[in-house]
Amino acid sequence: MIFRDTIAAIATPPGVGGIGLIRASGPEAEGIARRLFRPLRPLSSFLSHHLYHGHIVAPETGDVLDEVLVSFLKAPGSFTGEDTLEISCHGGPLILRTVLDEVLRAGARPAERGEFTKRAFLNNRLDLAQAEAVLDVITAQTHAGLSAAVARLRGKLSGRIEAIRNEIIDLLAGIEAAIDFSEDDGVTETPGSDLPRIQAVIDDLITLAATYRQGRIYREGIGVVIAGRPNVGKSSLLNRLLGEKRAIVTSIPGTTRDFIEEAIDIGGIPVRLTDTAGIRPPEDAIEREGIDLVWERLAAADAVLVLLDGSAELTADDRELLVKLHEKPLLPAVNKSDLPQRLDEGSLREILPETAPRPLRISAKYGDGIEALKQAICDTALTTPLQEMPEALIAHLRHKVALEKAAEGLIRARDGLRGGLPPELAALEIREALDALGEITGRTTTEDVLERIFANFCIGK
């Protein structure tokens, strides 16, 4: 696709840095370079994918704005598939803005969010799943999440989708051939003979859709709230898990009034840990407000780490909290294992839901049992270990919805053919499945969906 306009933006994050990058893409990219760039050595023409050292000059005044490195990437060998100019300036906000203003005056317009990546998609440099993976790479929070995003960017998911799509096309071709030709024309298979192949494709779609939970967790992470009555060691546990003193720890009950939230990488999973106020009958309005916030956080949590004091017997407050949290994924942990133990684990197990794992004995003060607790958090979040993570992994809800739509279309075709549905109608169902699958890579995606996807990007990417 040929765009008539040229877009430009600062491609590096806001703030002060050693280097800042300005990118321009479109038919005027080389012309802008010629108007603004003055090389230190004579230059007759720009060679693609070469770096040139010189100055950016304001054409109207002749003032030197900055000493820069410039590269020109000739179409189609650029990220966008268009002629692209990249200017590496010093990384101050003022100089970047000043140079960008000159680029805009020289013939470009400000780029919209994600417009460079959108042009890469529209110019067939990336399919839509790969374009989404660009943002996933940028926003990855752990090495595992980054590895999964890079695999999608390299086309692992797209390749799997294309293989399934080709299977569906073959199925459709066979059914349509049976419709159009008789046995006298050499076509002896009936649409019903394709039922095992249809089932195999359905199974592939369902298997791939089932990777969504794991993929979403690696991309977005999970929220784990640490809950318990006052003085059981919640803040000490947060500090121990983070490996730094983040929460104030005292022997005075009710020290934590507001919640404290920090992110940590646990086994490749981005985990948002929230330390909360101790749950008990509030003594004043401030503590009541803090406890109300606790319940809001508990309602939104992906899992609740219930911390109990192993040096004391279960209290009424402990029992009430555990009963109220029966519907949430629970991780029971018994703290203060370094002290004489009075908490009866049998009584605790009677209160816990059957789905809860066995309570772990830990010491937030000395670190005993912390590694086992981290593993329990991973086990709660994931059904498949990190080592067994498939290469083709979906991480976006729209991918899951599209796969399910494709499977549903094939299921209707399968059941219809079993029940004597005319092959013409079964072919329509298979075509719908094909269109649904095309939504993932962008073969059949509508413009409004594209706008929503690329609106999540930053300007300059």
Q: What would the mean pLDDT of 214-241 be, rounded to a whole number?
A: 89
Confidence grade of residue 185 (pLDDT, cut at 50, 70, 90): low
Q: What CATH class does 223-387 carry?
A: alpha beta
Range among 59-63, 326-330, 406-410 with highest mean pLDDT value: 406-410
Decide: 356 and 327 in contact? Cβ < 8 Å. Answer: no
Q: How does pLDDT run across 76-101, given as a tens digit for each residue?
A: 999 999 999 999 999 999 999 999 99
In the chain, which residues fall in CATH 3.40.50.300?
223-387
Is pLDDT at 186 greater than 60 in this prediction? no
Structure confidence at residue 198 (pLDDT): 93
Lowest mean pLDDT among 185-194, 312-321, 345-354: 185-194
Structure confidence at residue 194 (pLDDT): 80
Confidence grade of residue 385 (pLDDT, cut at 50, 70, 90): low
In the chain, which residues fall in CATH 1.20.120.430?
131-211+393-454
The domain made up of 131-211+393-454 has a fold known as Four Helix Bundle (Hemerythrin (Met), subunit A) (1.20.120)
Q: Is the pTM of this model over 0.85?
A: no
In the chain, which residues fall in CATH 3.30.1360.120?
7-111
Single-letter amino acid code for the residue at 435: D
Rounded to the nearest integer, the mean pLDDT of the chain is 87
Q: What would the mean pLDDT of 213-223 be, rounded to a whole number?
A: 91
Cα angle value 298/262/93 (rounded, 5°): 130
CATH of 7-111, one of 3.30.1360.120, 3.30.830.10, 3.30.200.190, 3.10.330.10: 3.30.1360.120
Q: 75-98 as b/e, with b when 16 or more CB fall inside 10 Å?
A: beebbbbbbbbbbbbbbeeebbeb
Confidence grade of residue 106 (pLDDT, cut at 50, 70, 90): very high
Structure confidence at residue 297 (pLDDT): 83
